[in-house]
Chains A and B, each alone.
Chain A
Amino acid sequence: MANLTINGKTFTLDVEPDTPLLWAIRENAGLTGTKYGCGIAQCGACTVHMDGVAMRSCGVSVSEAEGKKITTIEGLASGDTLHKVQAAWIAKDVPQCGYCQSGMIMAVAALLAEKPKPTDADIDEAITNICRCGTFQQVREAIHTIASA
């Protein structure tokens, strides 16, 4: 059993302490917006926020996540108001297949929380998610659009 705080709600989940947070979120809490891509913290598809910090949830155990404030893509918007990254992603038509974009959006949201006006170098350093469709050009443009708003 583990108690996790996800998107402001407390979940009491029947999981072993060493279960990766990714699978507890997807299979036990039932929030499938967070994606599995590699399981070894390489691709970033599973990125969530833990106490505001972007983390690859496949590499975090449930026991490490207990007591932390976890935010997934489902909890990024405030009610019906989209987060500015989500809004920019729609306005700039960023996603292609979209599978990596939950993680991409969470990584970008964390970057902008820390650096509201990131330079290209800041983006290069902070955004290391894999996108096989190759949406990088639109990702970069959307970030700059948000920053200059």
Chain B
Amino acid sequence: MNKHVSPKMNRRAFVVGTAAVGAGLAIGLDLPFGGPAVVRAADGSPEVNAWVVVKPDDTVVIRIARSEMGQGSLTGLAQLVAEELECDWSKVTTEYPTPGQSVARKRAWGDFSTGGSRGIRSSQDYVRKGGATARVMLIEAAANEWKVPASECTVAKGVITHKASGKTTTYGKVAEAAAKLTPPADVKLKDPKDWTIAGKGLLRLDTADKTNGTMIYGIDVKLPGMLNAAIKDCPVFGGKLKSYDEAKVAGMKGVKKVVKVGDTAVAVVADTWWHAKTALEAMPIVWDEGENAKVSSESIAKWLAEGLDDAQPAYVGNKNGDVKAAIAGAAKKVEAVYNYPYQNHATMEPMNATALYTADKCEVWCGTQNGEAVFAAVLEASGLPAEKCDMYKVMPGGGFGRRGQTDYVRQAVLIAKQMPGTPIKLLWSREEDMAHGRYHPVTQCKMTGAFDANNNLVALHYRLSGQSILFSLRPEALQNGMDPAAFQGVAQSGEAAIGYSVPNLLVEHAMRNPHVPPGFWRGVNVNHNAIYMECFMDELAHSVGQDPLEFRRKLMGNHPKHLAVLNAVAEKIGWDKPAPQGVYRGIAQVMGYGSYVAGAAEISVTEGSKIKVHRIVASTDPGYVVNPAQVERQIAGSFVYGLSALFYGGCTVKDGKIEQTNFDTFNSMRINEMPKVESVMVPSGGFWGGVGEPTIGVAAPAVLNAYFAATGKRIRSVPLRDQNITFA
């Protein structure tokens, strides 16, 4: 019990008895909440509604549309459904519906995408309603059977009681009848202060299989008759495959076929992946690298630097007052230029997907953050219609934004299409994964701050130059060419709003899009914007001899939620008391993904370049906390990811290719380098913010500001590796 059921390899998960169309909820989706025809799970158990199946033994199967990738949303979403359902948590299991089933049922489960820290915050409303609706129907079924008013019945842990008559029954016994009822038009959700399952730091539902080798990740999928594929895509993005010498490897052990994959890649298919990879490496391949082979990190940096010039066009993201006039008339001016590099997601499990194509069916098994996007990629690559395609999600070995893309799925289908009837598991080598990421975008930022004669900050000009993710991945989301997401953390309002009021403010973006494909990398644009803004705030404070915390506080009077988390970390780290001998502090705050976060670091520096991080304090106000134990883990994990990028990350470009090839050149923090992260959760309610990403934003600036406090040296370029600064 209490376990997530991975999809079975060779069966459809449900038998859909009839197209269930019920009362839709007003969220722009048609979510069928049951009746009149009963929809049954594969074992015959009735769906009370799309989210809840109750088995005769009282096991409750909660359907989860969003992807679990380690962030804990699967458990958190199940907690929210179970909370409203009032079932016995020890009898809860979870199950993924497939995108194909969702499409066949008018998108019964809504959005499958799991990115932007949206897993819980963007579905909490309708999954809770799913649980509450099922509860009402189950109680009504019992009341009907007893011929008493439903209002006289109560439920606790899946046991329904009619106090006056002393009758009791369980969800499992009335589920069949409940499934035939018309769902209520409206249900009232619990006040979070009354939660007993949600809001608690319950253990995850999917841990046991991760400790004994039985959890199936994409790389572990096995199908009868399956072959394995290794692939090389043109190392210069935008280049093409010119030729390859198949004859050289045709006789190698285990090799079955060499196939061209689109215009840019070639794959070797063999009995084992090791044979496929060995042959691929032995095969001569000629690339048509094209114009992009002339691009280097230096040429990109030069192009971006030109965009920092005010004479160049730029999109205005946030503006008040007249920055240029205020700077011109200021008593004192401070200026700095920062930059942030490409970063690879480097999920522990390299990209992979297994595809089976026949003339009338195409199926894919893979880890993904977006089952529906994979489904769409399967349709497009296979050329088959929706009713002949489906995809089955398995556990991803990390996502961090990379598995929201479907490039690897398309490749797997294109290979499988050339070998109809044979399941093909395509696995990228780590080297292929490093060479073909969807990288955190490259940017630079020039900031100018201006003070009046009394050292009040009167103007702030924040000019970004660099890559837009939306331009590349979601051009339909651009606003007259502008990428609104470029201003994450420094926007005027919304879920990633700036936390400072400055009388004259100009935030703008000179968009420059190099050929290296950008992607959503945990934290996305908050990462560099928080470094730029928070390190520059530190510079401004020091330039007028003010304490960095007090300097910020003066600008945050109109931003009480930003200020509250900043104050929370300041108090926890003891900002008003001296740090231990030889230890120095840095502080930072930002808003992203609807949550307010702040961080503080205590570090020491030896020999001017060896950093030991002694202590991290991080606070978040995500509105509501569904599982504090998981939130704590996400906060700590975000610091590992953010500080790995600060110290060791950074992808450089030479001859149009990414230079880093593996963890020896793109290192990641180890346990000895990471201190305990002390989390301070201050949920203030009334809104739903995200958790997986926001705190990554404050990881790097808190440490960089502490480094300045320790050494008097300001670091304006990431990664520290390139400046010979390391962990002690």
Chain A positions within 8 Å of B, measured between CB atoms, are 16, 19-20, 23, 27-28, 30-40, 42-43, 45, 72-74, 76-77, 82, 86, 89-90, 93-102, 105, 123-125, 127-140
Between A and B, 5 residue pairs with Cβ closer than 8 Å are A31-B213, A32-B222, A86-B211, A130-B663, A133-B640
Q: Are A77 and B70 in contact (CB under 8 A)?
A: no
A137 to B613, CA, bound (A): 14
Q: Are B70 and A39 in contact (CB under 8 A)?
A: no
Q: Are A95 and B213 in contact (CB under 8 A)?
A: no
Interface size on B, residues (CB 8 A): 60
Q: Are A127 and B671 in contact (CB under 8 A)?
A: yes
A19 to chain B, nearest CB (A): 6
Q: Are A101 and B430 in contact (CB under 8 A)?
A: no
A58 to chain B, nearest CB (A): 10
B395 contacts the other chain (CB 8 A): yes
Q: Are B677 and A137 in contact (CB under 8 A)?
A: yes
Of A100, A124, A133, most buried by chain B (CB within 10 Å of CB) is A133
Q: Which residue of chain B lies nearest to A42 when distances are taken between CB atoms in the complex?
A: B663
A71 to chain B, nearest CB (A): 11
Q: Are B633 and A43 in contact (CB under 8 A)?
A: no
Q: Are A27 and B273 in contact (CB under 8 A)?
A: yes
Q: Are A98 and B208 in contact (CB under 8 A)?
A: no
A128 to chain B, nearest CB (A): 5
What B residues does A38 contact at CB under 8 A?
Answer: 430, 662-663
B592 to chain A, nearest CB (A): 18
A92 to chain B, nearest CB (A): 9
Instruction: Scan residues 237-291 of chain B and give those whose CB is less than 8 A from a CB of chain A.
Output: 253, 272-274
Q: Are A102 and B213 in contact (CB under 8 A)?
A: yes
When the two chains form the complex, which single residue of A42, A74, A140 contacts B671, counting CB atoms closer than 8 Å? A140
B333 contacts the other chain (CB 8 A): no
Q: Are A16 and B253 in contact (CB under 8 A)?
A: yes
Q: Which residue of chain A lies nearest to B671 when distances are taken between CB atoms in the complex?
A: A136
What B residues does A99 contact at CB under 8 A?
Answer: 217, 347-349, 397-398
A131 to B129, CA, bound (A): 36
Q: Are B674 and A45 in contact (CB under 8 A)?
A: no
Q: Which residue of chain A lies nearest to B396 when distances are taken between CB atoms in the complex?
A: A97
When the two chains form the complex, which single residue of A27, A76, A128, A130 contacts B212, counting CB atoms closer than 8 Å? A76
Q: Are A133 and B637 in contact (CB under 8 A)?
A: yes
What B residues does A130 contact at CB under 8 A?
Answer: 348, 663, 668, 670
What A residues does B400 contact at CB under 8 A?
Answer: 132
What A residues does B350 contact at CB under 8 A?
Answer: 36-37
B638 contacts the other chain (CB 8 A): yes
A43 to B350, CA, bound (A): 13
Main secondary structure of the interface of A (DSSP, over half): loop
- Residue-by-residue, is B653-686 near A (CB-CB < 8 Å gives 1, otherwise 0)? 0000000001110001111101011000000000
What B residues does A19 contact at CB under 8 A?
Answer: 274
B429 contacts the other chain (CB 8 A): yes
Main secondary structure of the interface of B (DSSP, over half): loop
When the two chains form the complex, which single residue of B71, B208, B668 contacts A96, counting CB atoms closer than 8 Å? B71
Q: Are B210 and A132 in contact (CB under 8 A)?
A: no
B220 contacts the other chain (CB 8 A): yes
A132 to B253, CA, bound (A): 35
B281 to chain A, nearest CB (A): 11
A67 to chain B, nearest CB (A): 21
A20 to B272, CA, bound (A): 13
A33 with B203, Cβ < 8 A, contacts A27-B272, A97-B398, A134-B638 known? no
When the two chains form the complex, which single residue of A36, A43, A74, A129 contacts B219, counting CB atoms closer than 8 Å? A36
B374 contacts the other chain (CB 8 A): no
Q: Which residue of chain A lies nearest to B209 when distances are taken between CB atoms in the complex?
A: A98
Q: Are A27 and B211 in contact (CB under 8 A)?
A: no
B214 contacts the other chain (CB 8 A): yes
Q: Are B638 and A98 in contact (CB under 8 A)?
A: no
What B residues does A16 contact at CB under 8 A?
Answer: 253
Q: Are B210 and A95 in contact (CB under 8 A)?
A: yes
Q: Are B70 and A96 in contact (CB under 8 A)?
A: yes
Instruction: Scan residues 192-233 of chain B and give those whose CB is less than 8 A from a CB of chain A.
Output: 203-204, 206-217, 219-220, 222, 228
Q: Are B430 and A37 in contact (CB under 8 A)?
A: yes
Q: Which residue of chain A lies nearest to B630 when distances are taken between CB atoms in the complex?
A: A93
Q: Are A132 and B213 in contact (CB under 8 A)?
A: no
A93 with B204, Cβ < 8 A, contacts A23-B274, A40-B662 known? yes
B423 contacts the other chain (CB 8 A): no
Q: Are A93 and B203 in contact (CB under 8 A)?
A: yes
A130 to B649, CA, bound (A): 14
- Knowing that A97-B397, A97-B399 are A-B contacts, what are 9 other residue pairs whose CB atoms are under 8 Å apart, sorted by A's residue number? A19-B274, A34-B213, A90-B207, A96-B637, A97-B347, A99-B347, A101-B210, A134-B669, A138-B633
Q: Are A74 and B212 in contact (CB under 8 A)?
A: yes
What B residues does A124 contact at CB under 8 A?
Answer: 671-672
A97 with B219, Cβ < 8 A, contacts A76-B212, A102-B213, A133-B398 known? no
A37 to B273, CA, bound (A): 14
B400 to chain A, nearest CB (A): 7
Q: Which residue of chain B lies nearest to A23 when distances are taken between CB atoms in the complex?
A: B274
Q: Are A42 and B72 in contact (CB under 8 A)?
A: no
Q: Which residue of chain B lies nearest to A31 when distances are taken between CB atoms in the complex?
A: B213
Q: Which residue of chain A lies nearest to B219 when distances are taken between CB atoms in the complex?
A: A36
When the two chains form the complex, which single residue of B219, B272, B636 contacts A134, counting CB atoms closer than 8 Å? B636
Q: Are B640 and A45 in contact (CB under 8 A)?
A: no
A55 to B374, CA, bound (A): 36
Of B203, B204, B217, B274, most buried by chain A (CB within 10 Å of CB) is B274
Instruction: Scan residues 61-119 of chain B and give those whose CB is less than 8 A from a CB of chain A.
Output: 69-72
Q: Are B664 and A40 in contact (CB under 8 A)?
A: yes
B320 to chain A, nearest CB (A): 38
Q: Which residue of chain A lies nearest to B641 when distances are taken between CB atoms in the complex?
A: A134
When the two chains form the complex, which single residue of B208, B253, B348, B399 contacts A37, counting CB atoms closer than 8 Å? B348
Q: Are B671 and A35 in contact (CB under 8 A)?
A: no
A25 to B728, CA, bound (A): 37
